[in-house]
Amino acid sequence: MSCTTTKVGTNLIDTEMSEVPHTLPDARTICSFYLEGRCRFGEKCHNVHPAGVVPTRVTKPKSVVKREPQENNDKKPPLKTAGDVRKRIQWDPDLPKEHFTVGYLDRFTGVVEKPFTAFTWEHLSMVDLDQLAVPQHRIQYYKYKDVKVWDKRERLDLVFGSAGGNSTIREVIQRVEEELAENMCVSDDPDYGNNLQIEGT
């Protein structure tokens, strides 16, 4: 009895298996890369490449090549900052600080000139209210006596010779002192006034 049942059960299983459609290959996913024309596996692809479907070739957008900016030959050379000039005047023992003047931008009255020695060159957070101190970005120019040796707007630097300048502060001081000495000699000449009258007539 058991053998017959087993045989019948086996027949039933065979009948059911024969009725199951062979859909396993069709159940695979259609290759989306094939449809776009860029499947690189070909016949070895695990997904379906449907027959009769002409894949559309997807063109990749052209990559934008970043070009390095060409060097501009007209680029201006850098200018030393007001802080650089301040440190040079402050710490160079050969520079007479008492002969330097600072022109700075006051928020109410415009550009104001004060002697270099009148300023407190410490950090602004350490300065008392009765001390003169300004942020260095408000410094517009420096003078040695009456000669400008650094000017932010004019890009003038006769302290370090930056921004295309050919002179340095020692050369400027020597030239200014020589000119002042010549003027003093001329003014001390007793015939100086007579020469002016003769030239005027």
Residues linked to residue 114 through DSSP beta bridges, in sequence order: 102
* Closest CA relative to residue 169, chosen from 95, 84, 90: 95
- Among the residue ranges 12-16, 54-58, 77-81, 148-152, the one predicted with the least confidence is 12-16
pLDDT in tens, 116-143: 999 998 888 888 888 899 999 999 999 9
Q: Which domain holds residue 20?
A: 2-44
Same domain for 182 and 91, yes or no, is: yes
The pTM score is 0.56
The answer to whether the CB of 135 falls within 8 A of the CB of 81 is: no
Same domain for 40 and 92, yes or no, is: no
Residue corresponding to tokens 């009255």: 109
Same domain for 116 and 170, yes or no, is: yes
Let me know if residue 61 belongs to a domain: no
**Other CB atoms closer than 10 Å to residue 110's CB: what's the count?**
8
User: Does residue 47 have a pLDDT over 80?
Assistant: yes
Percent of the chain with pLDDT over 90: 41
Split at pLDDT 50, 70, 90, the class of 199 is very low
- Among the residue ranges 58-72, 92-106, 129-143, the one predicted with the least confidence is 58-72
Let me know if residue 58 belongs to a domain: no
